[in-house]
Amino acid sequence: MIGGSTQHAVADTRKVRNRAVNTRLIRSGPDEGGSDTDRDQDGGLAVETAKPKLKRPPMFKVLLVNDDYTPMEFVVHVLERFFAMNREKATQIMLTVHTAGSAVVGIFPRDIAETKSEQVNLYSQENQHPLVSTVEMTD
């Protein structure tokens, strides 16, 4: 009896596997407009799904805007803290903001750009500085 149950279990497993395979196949034959040569061994036409084409997300610039009251050292600190710049790079960007009125401090996907801008603005307010950052779409 044990041998008989094993045979039934194997047969049931094959039925389940065949059903699963058949659900992934499109039925096609001479009656449905296909040919017998298009069929696989389980009686269906094998279909390969196309991989979706991924598109890069639109990028946004985070700009730091100059004001007459925020100390230059605080601007350098913000650039180091929120944009992972070293001291030299942060100082160069700070001087560009000071002389040109604003400068791009990073380019990110929208959600990251908005988060960084909000973090800078909140941190500036908490430290009683009017430093402002904005977000703009890249060209």
Mean pLDDT for all residues in the chain:
81
Residue 11, pLDDT score: 52
- Are 64 and 119 contained in the same domain? yes
* Sequence-distant contacts of 112-116: CB under 8 A, at least 24 apart: 113/59, 113/60, 113/61, 113/62, 114/60, 116/62, 116/82, 116/83
| Per-residue model confidence as pLDDT tens digits over 43-97 | 667 777 888 889 999 999 999 999 999 999 999 999 999 999 999 999 999 999 9
- Are 72 and 31 contained in the same domain? no
9: in domain: yes
**Closest of 41, 58, 73, 67 to residue 107, by C-alpha:** 58
Range of the domain at 97: 59-137
Residue 28, pLDDT score: 47
Residue 27, pLDDT score: 47
- Are 126 and 63 contained in the same domain? yes
50: in domain: no
